[in-house]
Amino acid sequence: MKENIVIIGGGIAGMEAASQLLDLGYKPIIIEKSDHLGGHVAEWNCLFPDMTPAGDVVKNLVTRSAGANIFLNTEISFVNKLKDSYNIMLSNGISIITKIILVTTGFSLFDASKKEEYGYGIYDQVITNKDLEHWFNTGDDKRVGDCGMNAVGFVHCVGSRDEKARNSQCSKVCCITAVKQAIEIKQKFPEAMVYCFYMDLRMFGKKYEDFYISAQRDYGIRFIRGRVSEVSENIDGKVIVKAEDTLSGKPVKVTLDLLVLMAGMVCCKDSTKVANMISLPVDSDGFLKSRDNVTGIIEAPKEGIFYAGACTGPKTVPETLAEARAAALNVHLYINRMK
């Protein structure tokens, strides 16, 4: 089985697909721009809804995909379209000829400092979901532990469902991430008042609603329906949050020791760059466009090009892994058809 298979992106999608292809007898090539595998999941601490350690998930995938040809710190310099294949030139000088490309370039986290009214990068005590995961992992962030932690707030939909930020889509994972992180804060600081400011709570997945009920019943987390409009800082360095409590139809304000912004998932610029090199279309939501959003989400509209994971839109870990397995099978069937 000499067929070259190039997987662009060594996140969980790329690794899962590689491991399946290895089991099917192929020798896939993973191209990863950063210095490690795992993508975003390598930065998370515990995964909803069962608090599975993210490190275990990544470690397991790294082991299972170890047989692949893996290029770290490597990007794609350019791609030449040949008659029925592609010539991919890597930044390390190596070139690969392949008929099959699997794009698993994932997403980018919305840059929360673009929402200036929330004060990320301006006020010390405003952090993001990613910063909080980093603190759970390392304990290394003075903004979190050192501030009394009497009152903590979570802002949903930061950079999602926001046409002004040019992302009208729902990022899907941040409601449940907010519930998860709020519970974790409450476990570490039982005396803290914890507020979630939401527009809708989108608890779509298996056991998510149970997680939400538990956040209310067992942890007393306060859910306030209203989008935060404005954040300011007081003289003690605490943050004051203003919103409308739309359930009572009144403005509401509260002083917090820490505010966590639920930055959303947006299409990764490097995905779009790769898409441009292979002339792949981009969908109206900014993510890569599939052949069909119902029946062919893991296929690009071009022969021999496949997708898996968050490069086509916000996905959870189980959804990403399922797509990666499906994509590996599609690649296998495609190769059989070519013979």
Ligand X SMILES: Cc1cc2nc3c(=O)[nH]c(=O)nc-3n(C[C@H](O)[C@H](O)[C@H](O)COP(=O)(O)OP(=O)(O)OC[C@H]3O[C@@H](n4cnc5c(N)ncnc54)[C@H](O)[C@@H]3O)c2cc1C
Q: Which residues bind ligand X (CB under 6 A)?
A: 8-14, 31-34, 39-41, 44, 47-48, 75-76, 104-107, 109, 129-130, 173, 177, 265, 268, 270-271, 273-274, 309-310, 315-318, 320
Strand 151-158's sheet: what is its strand order?
Answer: 126-128, 258-263, 151-158, 193-198, 222-225
Q: What are phi and psi of 246, to 5 degrees?
A: -70, -15
Shortest approach of ligand X to residue 75 CB, angstroms? 5
Does residue 195 belong to the site contacting other proteins (CB under 8 A)? yes
Instruction: State the first-to-last Cα distance of the chain, in angstroms, to the nearest integer.
Output: 11
| Percent helix, percent strand, percent coil in the chain, to nearest 5 | 30, 30, 40
Shortest approach of ligand X to residue 112 CB, angstroms? 11
> Closest CB to ligand X among 3 and 75?
75
The 10 Å CB-count burial string (b at 16+, else e) for 132-153 is bbbbbbeeeeebbeebebebbb
Q: What distance in Å separates the CA atoms of residue 245 and residue 83, rounded to the nearest whole number?
A: 61
Burial class, 220, CB count within 10 angstroms (exposed 0-12 / middle 13-18 / buried 19+): exposed
Q: Are strands 151-158 and 222-225 parallel, antiparallel or unpaired?
A: unpaired
Question: Please, which residues have CB within 8 angstroms of residue 218's CB and are 6 or more apart in sequence?
Answer: none
Interface with ligand SF4 by CB under 6 A: which range of 67-75, 98-106, 121-129, 168-176? 168-176
Does residue 86 belong to the site contacting other proteins (CB under 8 A)? no
Does residue 282 belong to the site contacting other proteins (CB under 8 A)? no
Shortest approach of other proteins to residue 236 CB, angstroms? 12
Q: Enter the DSSP assignment of 311.
A: G
> Going residue by residue from 173 to 192, which x/- string records binding to ligand SF4, judged by CB under 6 A?
-xx-----------------
Shortest approach of ligand X to residue 309 CB, angstroms? 2
The only residue of 202, 238, 315, 332 in contact with ligand SF4, by rule CB under 6 A: 202
Judge contact between 100 and 40, C-beta under 8 A: no
Q: What distance in Å separates the CA atoms of residue 49 and residue 46, rounded to the nearest whole number?
A: 9
Does residue 161 belong to the site contacting ligand SF4 (CB under 6 A)? yes
> Closest CB to ligand SF4 among 40 and 161?
161
Does residue 255 belong to the site contacting other proteins (CB under 8 A)? yes
> Closest CB to ligand X among 6 and 221?
6
* Site residues, ligand SF4 (CB under 6 A): 156-157, 160-161, 170-172, 174-175, 200, 202, 262, 264
* Site residues, other proteins (CB under 8 A): 195, 213, 216-217, 220, 222-223, 225, 245, 247-248, 250-255
